[in-house]
Amino acid sequence: MKISLNPVLGINHVGKTNERVNAQQQSGMSSDTNISGLTSACYMPIFKATPDASFIMAHYQKRLCAYTRRPMLLSYDLRGIYAKLAKKSNAQAVVNFLNNYENYMQKVETQVFDFFKQNTGCGKQTLQDILYDKRDDSINNLRRKQNHILDSEESDRIINSLNGHSKNYVDQIRDSAIVRIYDGSFSRRDVLGQLASIETNEENAAKLNELYSLWYQLPRSFVDFDAFVVKYSYLPHNVIAQRLLSMSEMTIEHLIPTARGGNDSLGNLAPVIKLINNDRSDMPLKQYALLNPEFDISNNLQKYIDDICDNINGGKSLFATRSWYPKEFRANVQKETEGSINLKINDVKPKKANNNSKLTSSQKGKNRYISYRR
């Protein structure tokens, strides 16, 4: 029986500056190497928005992520911010400008931004300079974290409980991963992908799922400061500046991924930050919520649907013309989570939508292209 874990994988191959590429090559790391073994920022392709996706982008005015309740930025607004950042040639100028947007940053971005604020010395110093100076320390820290998970007593316990060829195969995966940590070729993606591809019996399957959950916590640049430093210390100043906000972009998420039969109808769509949309990929929502308890997805989905019900009952937006959305949304959440998330729907008594809530021509332009997962 093949274990269906649907790991979230993907590496963003971005060119580095010449000076630091040479240093990287001398250290035995290829330009495509992700020493921290992380899923990357995975900048998503832009697809032409469906009418229902555009509707959510235009009329969900709170702009809070349905999974995390973190504030989001429209891609239209981000393009304006990026244009201004392009003119900020040093770290101090970027810090001064982004102070106004710190509330939109995710946890690790806030940690990195605080680090920049504490280390903006020379006026000509760039964000890349600051990260590169920290890189060696972060590499060592990252290696310790990776070893702590892979070579832990908990990993030993689970692996030793396996039987047959599964135990030997997992031992090989771990031994190879530990070697790769120190030769600069370690990849979190590869480790999880190999683990998820093992075909085994039902007895071993539960144990491998437990091991996958443990190794899923291997550091990644989305959530770990040292992983962020290692990943982005070779990238240009302006790319790093944009990265502090890029994961906060408002995107459209399919509750049931299209790769597993989901469609583009309104009831299958939710507004989420780009970080979540990239990270989840087509992983079952039930599993993603279990692997990421810090997001509190169940409670935050409830708050999101409460917001929508308030909009419908208040008649202050065109959600009042789609009073069926909460129930359809709830049904898709239940299906995707196998009933583990059961949303409560407030009484929906829609008032006539305010005519002022119609999608304006400027809003149509802003939402013409939206990032969302296939």
Residue 161 in this model has a pLDDT that exceeds 80: yes
Question: Which pLDDT score is estimated for 123?
Answer: 72
Burial (CB count within 10 angstroms: exposed 0-12, middle 13-18, buried 19+), residue 17: middle
User: With bands split at pLDDT 50, 70 and 90, how would you rate the model's confidence at 355?
Assistant: low
Is the separation of the CB atoms in 31 and 24 below 8 Å? yes
Q: Flag the least confident range among 110-114, 255-259, 314-318.
A: 314-318
Q: Please give the average per-residue pLDDT across 307-313, as a whole number.
A: 92
pLDDT tens, residue by residue, 234-292: 999 999 999 999 999 999 999 999 999 999 999 999 999 999 999 998 999 999 999 99
Question: Which pLDDT score is estimated for 57?
Answer: 92
Residue 171 in this model has a pLDDT that exceeds 90: yes
Residue 168 DSSP SS3: helix
Residue 13: count of CB within 10 angstroms of its CB: 8
- Write out the E strands in 204-248: none
User: With bands split at pLDDT 50, 70 and 90, how would you rate the model's confidence at 34?
Assistant: very low
User: With bands split at pLDDT 50, 70 and 90, how would you rate the model's confidence at 371?
Assistant: low
Q: What count of Cα atoms within 13 Å lies in the side-chain half-sphere of residue 190?
A: 16
User: With bands split at pLDDT 50, 70 and 90, how would you rate the model's confidence at 314?
Assistant: confident
User: With bands split at pLDDT 50, 70 and 90, how would you rate the model's confidence at 124?
Assistant: confident
Burial (CB count within 10 angstroms: exposed 0-12, middle 13-18, buried 19+), residue 119: middle
Structure tokens at 192: 């999880």
Q: Nearest to residue 188, comparing CAs of 128, 142, 141? A: 142
pTM, two decimals, is 0.81
Q: Please give the average per-residue pLDDT across 53-65, as a whole number.
A: 94
